[in-house]
Every structure is written in structure tokens, then in C-alpha cells.
Amino acid sequence: MKRNVAIIGGGQTYHAARRHDVDEPEMVNEAVRAALKDARMTIDEIDLVILGNMEFFEGTHMTDCWLVHGMGAYGKQGLKITTGGTVGATAVCAAAHHVASGLFDKVLCIGFEKQEEGDTGAILSGVANPLWGRSMAGAAVGYFAMMGSSYMAAWGAKEEHSAMVAVKARQNARRNKYAHLKLDITIEDALNSRMLAWPIRMLDMCPASNGACAMILADEKTAKSRSKKPVWIRATDTAHNEQFELDWRDVKTNRLIFSRACAGRLYRKLGITDPAKYFDVFEVYEPATWAELIWYEDLGLCGPGEGFRLIEQGRTNIDGPIPVNPSGGVLSTNCIGASAMLRVWEAALQIRGDAGEHQVPKDVRRALTTGYGGTNWTVMTALSKTLDD
Amino acid sequence: MATKDKEWISIPMTVDVPYRFAAGSYMTKCLTELRDSGKIYAVECPKCKRVQLPPRVVCAECHVKNERWVELPHEGTLVGFTIMYLPLTDPTTGKPHEPPFVYGSVRLDGATSVLDHMVEVEPDMDKVWVGMRCRLVLRPKDERIGDLSDIRYFEPLPGQKKPQS
């Protein structure tokens, strides 16, 4: 990066299925105030405000205008980003670019979604191409179901492996005071939950949450003078998949699909050969259980077809050697526009040692996060505790 | 946390928005051939030779113009599927597809791409599997409108049994 960039503060709302007590700007304002308080800053110090959400979900277009007071963006420079499920991470990525470029020193980025205000299933079907498959669209659950059936057929994984991911997420969420689904469930509970689209059951999918996350990014000089625990953004990378090609769920494909292209490029930037050893914690975007297993493989935490062995051996547990989603992940909280930013913020909390009850019980110096959304693209962010890490 | 002892107002609203999308030259050829002759047309990239369906003007990987049209057979292999238990709304009509139904991804022989559609088979795990051979069933010619729904569904080729694993 041209200039070093640090996360110097952040905050989130509590996440829930119902937030009738707040409108959109009020909800966003909760996260913005929490982030400013965490950074010990006032809104007057912010140079630029970046907002991200998936505006189809609420049906409120131009959210950057309607939420301007809640964001604290009145009269300031700002921009709005809409990149589907990745948008929270894209907002962080854009904020990092703006600081790294030298044009801005203190950037506030915000991600939010109020899913209760619209019809998520219908809107996600509308993400399909209007002329090719929209009338047949299986929504997100159908896509992940085919990913799961393809994964099981290719590698011999069982529905129990998916259930193990479901249990890990909700048990981790029980330690996270902000999480939406804090469920004390067992593998049997997951396997007995209602079938939505074989092999996806109710507990294999993320919830529809309301919530917001905000983060403040700053240049090195500001970070070192203002923050006791800056978390450094060491690299970001993004990649799109080819549209209409459903190779991302063909788990045996040899193509350099979006996730592998992005991870490969990010690892080259940092000289990483063994990501499972290099990073101390991962926060990945897993709207469904099977997606987490495929992330293990696409990120190179194991070989192809070995993802389900990692969960089986407990290696990605909060106290395992490769902790993945100690926060409970998207499976426990999915306020879409905030979800990908929550991955970055939760990873930053782990590096600061401020994750509370879901703090990983080891020295956390480096973390990797992924976003996932649109019709398959990703944003990855690598964080570190010091500039020497 | 929100307190429940207070009244919170929320206002329901339904927004009905009509759209009209231009199919463009490549998709127009594909959809008119489907409608008029019942043929499935893809394009082959001159460089990587991937046979792409639906056809599109540029190969995303090679950045070259796709110019060779390839007629695909109606038979292929199921590469992924789900048994859907949710009444999913068809956003083009607002009507639900009645569950349970099988929805699958089929690679027509010779194609690089796969095609997602309904599979006309009992929603029973013993009757559907990855690797199952399928064929396209089209609507009768006078019912076809130049849309992917001109394909009614995939059906299994007769005489197959799920392999024992």
C-alpha cells in the first residue's frame, strides 16, 4: 500500500430479527456513535464517510441521502457503495484505498441492513439474470443446496459435517453479546431441523438480521498518535467470478474461480505460503454451512476435499489451531450490508484482544477475512497487530 | 435491547415495478432458435474453446469475441441438485413454485456451462443423483414465447438406476 492504513475504532449494534424500535438512520447512528466512542473521536474529525448496504432489501433507494444525518455525513465528502453481500467489506476496502492514496486521513465506513423491512427471498431471486434463469431462480438456499449436494457427491462428506459447522457457529455466537442466533444446539438438533432444500436445513442457513457496523480507518500518523491499539490493514484484494458459469459450486473445478484468484493474489502480496500457519484467526463469510467448508479449501487451509475433515477434527474451533469465525459468523448474524464489515471488525477485535468471551485463547497477531456476495465475488482483508507482523 | 411495552409504528407497502429488458443480439438468437426450432445454441470461444451457454459476445476469460455458434444436443448429465421444500416465489410472475420439487444443474453434452432448471422426477433421494443422465423437455411449439421457460424441465433418460455407493 502507498501509505499504511489502520483501523482505529469500530462499533456495532446488537443484531436481531426485529428492530421496530429504530428506523434506518437511528439504527446506523447507534453503530456510528459506538465507533466514534471507541476511537475517542468526534464526527467533526472525520474527512470522508462511506456507506454500504443492499438497498433493494429495504426498498429505500439513495440511502446515502436519507441516512445522511444518522451517518454524520451532512456537508462532508462521502460516497455510497452497493456490491451485494460483500458491500460491508467493499466499504472497508474503499476506505483503505482512500486513506492509502493520501487524499484522506480519517475515513468512517458504515454497513447496515434492515432485513425485516423487505422480502429477502424475493429480492435474492431478483439477483438472478432477468433473461436467463430468473423465473427458475432457487434463491440463495437453492444455490447453497446445490453447492452442498455437489460437495457431498465429490468428496464423500456427510450431512453431519454440515451440522458440525452449524453447531460451531451457534455455540460461538453464545459467547458474542451482539450476535443474533445464540443457540445451544447439538448435531442432532441441526440434523433434525426443518428441511428447506436438501441438503440444507433450517440450522444450516443464516438468519435474516437487522443491524449495523461502523469502522474508522486512518493513516499511520493519525493512528499512532490517536490510538492505543491500531489494527493494520496489510492487504486487500477483490475478484469477480465469470457470470453464468456456475463453476464456483463445482468443487472439483480446476479453474481459478473468484475465491482462489483473490486469495492467491493476496497471499503473493504478503509472501504467504502456508495461510493456516501465517494467520492466527479467520472470519469468513458463510451464509450456509457448506460455504464455510469450501472456504477452508479455497483459502488453502487444507487440500481440496479435506474441508470437512477440518471441522470433523475440531481444528477450526475457537480453541483449535485454525480458529474460523469465533464470532459465530454469518450463520449466526446476517444483517447483509453489515455482515462483510463485521468479519473485518470481529477480526480487528481479536487482534486487539477485545473480543471478550469469544476471544481466541492464543496470541492473535494476524487475521484474514472474506466477504462473499453478488453473484459470486469476494473482498478479502488481511490485518495485523503491528507493522512488523 | 428494544422494549416491548411501547408502541412502535411500522407501515406496510407493496411496490409493483414493471421492467422490460433488451435481450441483445446473442441472447435474441438463442431465444428465437429455442422458440422457433427448439434448438439450443451456445457459442464457442475461438481461443479457449469453451462452449458457453447462454451465448455472450465476449469470452470473459480470453477477452475475445465469441463468433462460432454451436448447436447443443438435448441430453446431458446432472451435476448438482436440490429437493426444494420452500414455496419459492417466481419473481417474474409473483407466483410460487409448489414444493416439494427437484431443481437441478445439467451440463448438456459438449457444453462447458451448466443449465439450471426443474427436474421432472419424484422428490426422492433414491430417484435422483449427481451423474444422472437427463434430457430437455420443451413446451409445444405454439406455447413457446422465447424465454427459458420454453423448456418445461429436464427428465431422466429411461432405464437408469442410482448407483450404489
Q: Interface pTM (ipTM) of the complex? A: 0.90
**Rg of chain A in Å (alpha carbons):** 19
Selected for mutation to probe chain A from B7, B85, B129 (highest A CB count within 10 Å) is B85
* H or E element, residue B37: helix B24-37
Cβ-based contacts of B23 with chain A (< 8 Å): 131
**Whole-angstrom Cα distance, residue A64 to residue B89?**
30
Grid coordinates of A370? 472474506
Chain A nearest-CA residue for B113: A245
pLDDT value of residue B128: 95
What values do phi and psi take at A195, rounded to 5? -75, 125
| Cα–Cα–Cα angle for A127, A167, A365, rounded to 5 degrees | 85
Cβ-based contacts of B79 with chain A (< 8 Å): 150, 250
Q: What confidence tens digit (pLDDT) does each residue in B31-41 have?
A: 999 999 999 99
A360 CA to centre of own chain: 18
A225 lies within 8 A of chain B by CB: no
Chain A nearest-CA residue for B149: A135
- For A:145-164, CB contacts with B below 8 A are 145-150, 153
DSSP letter string, A236-267 = EEEEEPPTT--GGG-TT--S--HHHHHHHHHH
**Whole-angstrom Cα distance, residue A19 to residue A180?**
12
CA distance B43 to chain A (A): 13
**Whole-angstrom Cα distance, residue A100 to residue A92?**
12
Interchain proximity A131–B117, CB inside 8 Å = no
DSSP structural state of residue A273: S
Per-residue pLDDT of chain B (165 residues; tens, 9 = 90+): 555 678 899 999 888 889 999 999 999 999 999 999 999 999 999 999 999 999 999 999 999 999 999 999 999 999 989 999 988 766 566 677 789 999 999 999 999 999 999 999 999 999 999 999 999 999 999 999 999 889 999 999 999 999 986
- Asked if the peptide bond before residue B100 counts as cis, ω within 30 degrees of 0, the response is yes
* Model confidence band, residue A177 (pLDDT cutoffs 50, 70, 90): very high
Q: What are the residues whose beta carbons fall under 8 Å from the beta carbon of A121, sequence distance 6 or more?
A: A139, A140, B86, B88, B89
Inform me whether the pLDDT recorded for A310 exceeds 60: yes
pLDDT value of residue B165: 66
Q: What is the pTM of this model?
A: 0.96
Selected for mutation to probe chain A from B15, B57, B88, B127 (highest A CB count within 10 Å) is B88
